[in-house]
Structure 1
């Protein structure tokens, strides 16, 4: 099987993955999991959110996670922000990679962030300026790039308008999110193909949910159309608390097995699966990963089976 060496997996367990869990993890446990995943070779992580903890309780203590990690570790980690003030506060704790997120649809942006899409876009240059002041970088992340839980299908032209808006200048990446997991591979390929020339030299990323079972297929379609980063969470944990119908992320284990990055060996995959199983057991959550099931197969001749 030919690997996809240019595809970078970003594990989002510690942010998107934990948002809807009934139980919470303290900052120390979250920092330890981050170190485990980084040591296993996962290139990038999403480690927390500046969302209000009264609205998203599992994200409380995200700045403590940032403070617990070394600068070298933080070079590979991202924190979710939605305002310039979020960037200031996270930067003061040591963060340098900021995932500035807002929704393409006004209705979801109002529900998720409390403002219209254009208001979030208007504040982006100030967020970039704050990040640059500490040598950091800002990623443009567009939620509901395919469908909105309130308004339905999203016009691709609206996505292109935002990506090409001069107010997004200075962002390092463009991430398109299938927030509801309702997109199909053809749609994903078409949108990334259209966005690629508009994005210029910015990296493209795909954040897909697996609600309709298309998470891996959509991620591979995005990669084939120009995305170099794909997001996943251990066991397929996660979902948006402000998007009715959004279920878990595409499973990290499944994306690793599908893309076969150079650092992935049967032992590394087994360790990732084990880390996910321990986390899910602690949280009382089920695993949605097919790969995590597959490694326990009795087909002992297959090298990817755990022994």
Structure 2
């Protein structure tokens, strides 16, 4: 098996990690976490979301956070938006990369939006035109791409239909997101291989939750299929407010540790992100599921024994 020489890890903690926490961090704390993570090697970081504060109150201050972070050269600062108003807020805050999200599950999409997934994507045509006219870049996240608590396994053909809808509005970077933590390695391998073959011009990203303990195994399956871009979250925080039980992104320090043990480069300072992960636990007031924050690095254990 030929593993990739390096992968690109996007840190989604400031958005997907904090949006489901009972405790809302201050603007200063969020800015500090973002700036420290960039210093530790992040090349893509999701700083928050420009959504209605009543929907996700933990993200109500994203405008201020975006204005106060230190912009480092060569780093992509992106945010989630749900409509043209959110995109305009992102632009006003100096964010040039916005992510749109649509559920692949028809039942989930109809229940939440009263639209099919394809109709939901077409609803972003105004955003696509606005972004193109202003030199902004859009990416798309296809949530519940592997499974949905309302309808079970989501067929690959349904996912492909959503991909085609995104293609029609000009979005060329897409993420397959395991929002409910239902994906398994065989399914991830099959879906990833198929979409890479059928849509070779798309930049592919995978987003896993470790809800049932298969997050890193799913990353391995994705790498076997040739995907080299992954989302993860400091300390393994996370979950979706609109998908009950979908807790726990894969922890960035766990993913980076695994890759470094395998000789796969990530560009991250592992000790640096472990330190940040422990700081995050202090801020939120409890220990998280991160394996590395609990057990430490493999090499540290060997040193202690010697």
2:236/2:248 contact within 8 Å kept:
yes
1:270 counterpart residue number:
271
Q: Equivalences for 1:1-307 in 2 at 5 Å?
A: 4-72=4-72, 75-110=75-110, 115-165=115-165, 167-260=167-260, 261-262=264-265, 268-295=269-296, 300-302=301-303
Cα displacement string for residues 259-284 of structure 1 (whole angstroms, at most 9, x for unaligned residues): 2253657xx21221111111111112
Secondary structure at the residue paired with 2:14? coil
Shift of 1:73: 5.8
Q: What is the root-mean-square deviation in Å for CA atoms of aligned residues?
A: 2.4
- The whole-number CA distance in structure 2 between the counterparts of 1:115 and 1:73 is 40
Counterparts of 1:121 and 1:142, CA distance in 2: 10
CA contact (8 A) 1:238 1:248 kept: yes
Q: How far off is 1:148 after superposition?
A: 1.1
Distance 1:137 1:5, change over 3 A: farther
- Residues 89-121 of structure 1, C-alpha deviations (whole Å, 9 max, x = no match): 211211111111110113323555565423321
Q: Unpaired runs of 5+ in structure 1? A: none
- Give the match's secondary structure for 1:89: helix
Task: Give how far 1:175 is off.
Answer: 0.3
In the alignment, the residues of structure 2 paired with residue 96 and residue 195 of structure 1 have an alpha-carbon distance, to the nearest angstrom, of 27
By how many angstroms is 1:239 displaced? Answer: 0.4
Normalising by structure 1, what TM-score?
Answer: 0.89
Deviation at 1:56, TM superposition (A): 1.3
8 Å contact kept, 2:117–2:162: no
What do residues 263-307 of structure 1 show as CA deviations (whole Å, max 9, x unaligned)?
657xx21221111111111112322111222327795535xx8xx
SS in 1 for 2:51: coil
The answer to whether the Cα contact below 8 Å between 1:174 and 1:202 also exists between their aligned partners in 2 is yes
3-state SS of 1:191 partner: helix
Q: TM-score, with normalisation over the residues of structure 2?
A: 0.90
Give me the whole-angstrom Cα distance separating, in 1, the residues matched to 2:68 and 2:258: 32
Residues 1:224 and 1:93: Cα distance change in structure 2 (over 3 Å): same
Q: Which digits, 9 at most, give the CA deviation of each residue in 1:1-50, with x for residues without a partner?
A: x9743411011100110121110112222122111111111221111012
- The 2-side partners of 1:28 and 1:128 are apart by 32
Which stretches in structure 2 are left out of the alignment for 5+ residues? none
1:286 is paired with a residue whose SS is coil
Contact 1:45 1:77 in 2 (8 A): yes
Query: Size of the alignment, in residue pairs?
Result: 301
